[in-house]
Amino acid sequence: MKTQIIYLFLTVTIFSCSKTETEQLPEDEIVYIQKNPKKGFCVTSNNALWYNKIEDLNSSWHYSWNYEMLPQEPDSIDFVPMIWGAWSDTSKVLLKLDYIKNLKDEGKVKYMLGFNEPDKADQANMSLETAIAYWPKLEKVGLPLGSPACSNPTGDWMQSFMEEAENRNFRIDFVCVHWYGGISAGGFLDKLQEIHNLYNKPIWITEFAPADWSATSPANSKHTKAEILTFMKEVLPALDNVDYVKRYAWFSADITHGPLGNAALFDGANKFTTLGEFYSTFEGKTE
């Protein structure tokens, strides 16, 4: 017998059908899924059916590594714009910041994310001096602002940036963390505690998933799908109970990706993997 799913957005009940229609269903056929305010999803608009995936995962928030809020963005999702990096033409960054400020003024966005992995040559690849020079421009948008999301959140680049920002009295409202370690839930939580102790700020985990960077295919990864599912089942409830972790977003690579394929939330037909099914239905704390 088909089960009807009624989504509850955050702690507010929103019905997609009338009261009469709901009353026609036996109570044991209705599954209530509440949105966890911490749980999000990072996916680009180049990803097939990206807007459906955000909703299907029962996400509360989403970012795309981009500043632009596309028309397909679901109304029920908190979209968070990002300034991915810097360009030689400063005017391009200023136009993006003006765009985000307009979104803020229209009440469409509540937060903003800083640079994406500026400590990596194949990502934003920014010098410390460039990042420091741009930061006051990001502050002027007037939104709560996340730190640069470094590939190594405790590495030299990040520590130097945070120290210089503090010396200049720059505003950084929360620290963005990327993590692609092993399947030890305790090790991951210990790392988050280390980051929090180091910077003494709230944390958003904007990318995370277990990875085996030596794997050439999911089949020869040292992290099996079953082990990653166990990791997720341990970690998500723990993150909900850590007060300084305010948000988290699982990173889902293509299912054929060597290092990260076993951590994919969707298969090649854009259907849930077992891991994706668990992530989509995980409620955790909803208040």
CATH T-level topology, domain 36-281: TIM Barrel (3.20.20)
In whole angstroms, give the CA distance from residue 29 to residue 68: 40
In tens, the pLDDT along 9-38 reads 333 333 333 333 334 445 454 454 578 999
In whole angstroms, give the CA distance from residue 205 to residue 187: 15
In whole angstroms, give the CA distance from residue 257 to residue 58: 24
Where are the domains positioned within the chain? 1-34, 36-281
Neighbours of 274 (CB within 10 A): 13
Which residues are within 8 A (CB) of 190 and not within 5 positions of it... i.e. 6 or more apart? none
In whole angstroms, give the CA distance from residue 60 to residue 40: 5
> Vertex 97, ends 91 and 103: CA angle to 5°?
145
How do the pLDDT tens digits run along the chain, 287 residues long? 333 333 343 333 333 333 333 344 454 544 545 789 999 999 999 999 999 999 999 999 999 999 999 999 999 899 999 999 987 677 888 899 999 999 999 999 999 999 999 999 999 999 999 999 999 999 999 999 999 999 999 999 999 999 999 999 999 999 999 999 999 999 999 999 999 999 999 999 999 999 999 999 999 999 999 999 999 999 999 999 999 999 999 999 999 999 999 999 999 999 999 999 999 999 876 55
In tens, the pLDDT along 247-257 reads 999 999 999 99
Helix or strand holding residue 56 (H, E)? helix 50-56
Closest by alpha carbon to 264, among 214, 223, 236, 235? 223
Amino acid at 110: K
Closest by alpha carbon to 174, among 259, 117, 84, 245? 245
Which tokens in the block code for residue 150?
Answer: 């470094």
Per the CB < 8 A criterion, the answer to whether 43 and 64 are in contact is yes
Per the CB < 8 A criterion, the answer to whether 183 and 227 are in contact is yes
Per DSSP, what are the bridge partners of residue 5? 31
Q: How far is CA 11 from CA 27, 35, 207, 218, in A?
A: 20, 7, 25, 38
